[in-house]
Structure formats: C-alpha cells, structure tokens
A and B are shown apart, each in its own frame.
Chain A
Amino acid sequence: AQKVTQAQTEISVVEKEDVTLDCVYETRDTTYYLFWYKQPPSGELVFLIRRNSFDEQNEISGRYSWNFQKSTSSFNFTITASQVVDSAVYFCALSEHAGNNRKLIWGLGTSLAVNP
C-alpha cells in the first residue's frame, strides 16, 4: 500500500537555526512523484517542489534543499537559516502514475514553529 510518513509532528527552532523535516514513503510502483507543500495558517497549500522517481539529484533553492534517497525511500527537506516566515505546516506527498491512480497521498504534516 502507498503510504507517506512524517514522523515529526511538531518542531520548534530559534530563528537562524537549520532544520530538517523528514519524509519516508512506501510504494510498489517504479514511477512516482514526490512533493513538498507548505501550508501557512491561511490554509492554502503552497507548492515547494516535485521530484520524479528517476531523478535522485538533490536540489537547492535558496534556503531550501531536498535530499531524495530511493535506497531508504526518503525525501527530506532542509531549511537553512530558518526565519519566522517559515513557520507553517509542511506536507510531504506521493503521487503514483500507474494505471488510473491519480491521487496524491499525504503525510500527516510537520508543524514548524520558528521563534524570534
């Protein structure tokens, strides 16, 4: 069965600390996509990154970086030099692309609080 696990329910850091959000996934498919979304208190899900199962290159975008490792089925997200504006709930999601399966499967989210 497909599953996404975000073991960290809540994380609290002080501004300028680095923080890593963990994501572990389970899938039987060989072709899939992994996503990270940010959900601020306003509720809207903000897209951060998409990675396909054939691309294990790590990616860096400003203060954000992602580490995809198929060997451990993990897709971790690191925020460097965190800021108060990074405070939000972060979701990892999995999308399979076999047959008629079109849905995103989500983790429970990690609530990040960055304190001044």
Chain B
Amino acid sequence: DAGVTQSPTHLIKTRGQHVTLRCSPISGHKSVSWYQQVLGQGPQFIFQYYEKEERGRGNFPDRFSARQFPNYSSELNVNALLLGDSALYLCASSLEDRGYGYTFGSGTRLTVV
C-alpha cells in the first residue's frame, strides 16, 4: 500500500511568488493535516481537514490556505512568499479527524530566495 505521498519533493521559489503543495493520503484516510517545520525546530500545525471541511487552523497568516478534494487529497497554498516561509512542509493523514494515528509523508522542502 502506498503511504502518504507529497509533491513536489523540493521547490525553489522567489519572494512574492505563490506556491501549491500537494498531498495524497493513505487510501481510506479521510483526514489530512499540514505542518511547517523550520530547520532545527519541531513541526508547527498549519491546517487540518476532514471530509473536505477545515477542522483546525494554526497560527499562520492568511497567506496560507488549503483545501481537501473529494478523493481526500489536499493542497496547501502559500501566497506572497517570504524568506521565512522556507521550511519542510509535512502532510499527515489519519483515519479519523481526531488523529488517533498520524502517518506523515516525506515532505516538500521549500526554499524561498
């Protein structure tokens, strides 16, 4: 069975640009969460979606948005990129919205120059 897949693996963007990151959860998992991990720190919660509805939002500016599709895959969008948005973006899927078990993808390494 395929695990959580994220694309792209690496990405380099220029300040002010927009980026879309994609995540496909494990088959049968209905919940997707997004985390940002800056080098040397623990992941920070950005969003959680369950059954296409937003169930949680972290302390991130409105430049960050996300959505979940009918097939439970998800996109994370970041507008007006800043240098500080450079990080590893991790997607986690779980069977239920309360996240009794989270499986993470390998992440997308975003570099903003």
Residues of A within 8 A of B (CB): 4, 33, 35, 37, 42-47, 50, 91, 93, 95, 97, 100-109
Query: How far, in whole Å, are A33 and B92 apart by their CA atoms in the complex?
Result: 16
Nearest-CB residue, chain B, relative to A50: B101
Nearest-CB residue, chain B, relative to A101: B56
Number of A-B residue pairs having CB atoms within 8 Å of each other in the complex: 62
Given contacts A91-B42, A95-B99, contact A45 B55 (CB under 8 A): no
Which residues from chain A contact B103 at a C-beta distance below 8 Å?
47
Which residues from chain B contact A4 at a C-beta distance below 8 Å?
42
**Are A106 and B43 in contact, with the CB atoms below 8 A?**
yes
Q: How many residues of B contact A (CB 8 A)?
A: 28
**Are B107 and A102 in contact, with the CB atoms below 8 A?**
no
Whole-angstrom distance between the Cβ of B56 and the nearest chain A Cβ: 4
**Are A106 and B42 in contact, with the CB atoms below 8 A?**
yes
- Beyond A43-B109, A106-B43: 9 further Cβ-contacts under 8 Å? A43-B88, A44-B105, A95-B99, A102-B98, A103-B45, A104-B33, A104-B102, A108-B42, A109-B41
